[in-house]
Amino acid sequence: MNKKLAAVICLALAGMGASIRLLTQSPVLPDYFGTRSSFNLNDANAYADEHGYRCDFPLEKNPRGIINCYVLKYRPNAYESAEKYAEAFIGVESYTEEDDAYIFFGQQGSVTIDKEINQIHFEAVLAEGAGEPLASDEEAVKIATDFMEKRLLVLIYEEAQVHYDGYTYRISFINRISNLKNYAFSNQITMDNYGSVITVDYFATQYDRVGECQIKSMKDAFAELPALSEDETVLLSKCQLVYIYDDSIIQPAYYFQGNAVDEKTYECFVKAAVF
């Protein structure tokens, strides 16, 4: 099935002026693998590349060579269950049924429920923000978690990743699969400067192990970063091995993070699996 959930393999924000902040929920899960795959800035291990990237961690560091891969476990979602989810968001007034989803409508907005993987997508009726702007990332995360909890959605996460572009907050709640951070299906909320929720994507998903794959080296992944224009430079300060969703498989990828010369954020996922 061609889902609407394909992961973004390379997300380069250098030209978007967005900022990314990480808020870690307590208690923190043990980072047995992340400790070995994340490195900090130091002049002794700086690495430069002719394509405009500078890397401030040792690319010769190579993680374990075998990683599990997964596929989504499909669980048929009946109309009655879907309607119950939708009622938690809106007062359902009408609905339509498609091959792969139920779409419910109400005065507060619309809710789309995937029939097979239990994804909930909420879109609010757009309203002009009012009141005082949000004061901090922490306030945005608090509003997002309260919104979920009031709709009886279980929200367990290790890290809240806050993207802010000056107008909109996008908060991603990151958890783990097999001790790697899962960017394949992270619960997300977007809201405006005043804390009004715009969209929600919530995944009540489960996974089946489909096999193993070899992992390319971090140095090989670094060489696959997209070429920059002649006047661009990026300082990469962190790289982690994480999970993404691509070709219908939840598979590992290197997640590079850093900043462009103008201090705007840059991040890119490079597939790590060798099948």
Q: For residue range 195-213, list pLDDT tens digits in order.
A: 999 999 998 888 899 999 9
d(CA 126, CA 71): 35
- Section 25-52 average pLDDT: 40
Domain count, the chain: 1
In degrees rounded to 5, what are phi and psi of residue 219?
Answer: -65, -40
223 belongs to a structural domain:
yes
- With beta carbons less than 8 A apart as the criterion, state whether 39 and 238 touch: yes
pLDDT bucket at 233, cuts 50 / 70 / 90? confident
47 belongs to a structural domain:
yes
Query: What's the pLDDT tens digit per position in 46-87?
Result: 455 557 888 878 876 656 678 999 998 877 778 998 999 899
81 belongs to a structural domain:
no
**Polymer length of the chain:** 275
The range of the structural domain enclosing residue 233 comes to 19-71+208-274
Strand duo 159-164 + 168-177: pairing? antiparallel
Provide the sign of the torsion angle of the four alpha carbons 43, 44, 46, 48, taken in this order.
positive
d(CA 54, CA 259): 10
111 belongs to a structural domain:
no
Query: Three-state DSSP class for 31?
Result: coil
196 belongs to a structural domain:
no
Strand duo 234-246 + 53-55: pairing? parallel
**How many C-beta atoms lie closer than 10 Å to residue 196's C-beta?**
16
The secondary element (H helix, E strand) that includes residue 265 is: strand 265-271
d(CA 53, CA 65): 25
d(CA 191, CA 6): 22
150 belongs to a structural domain:
no
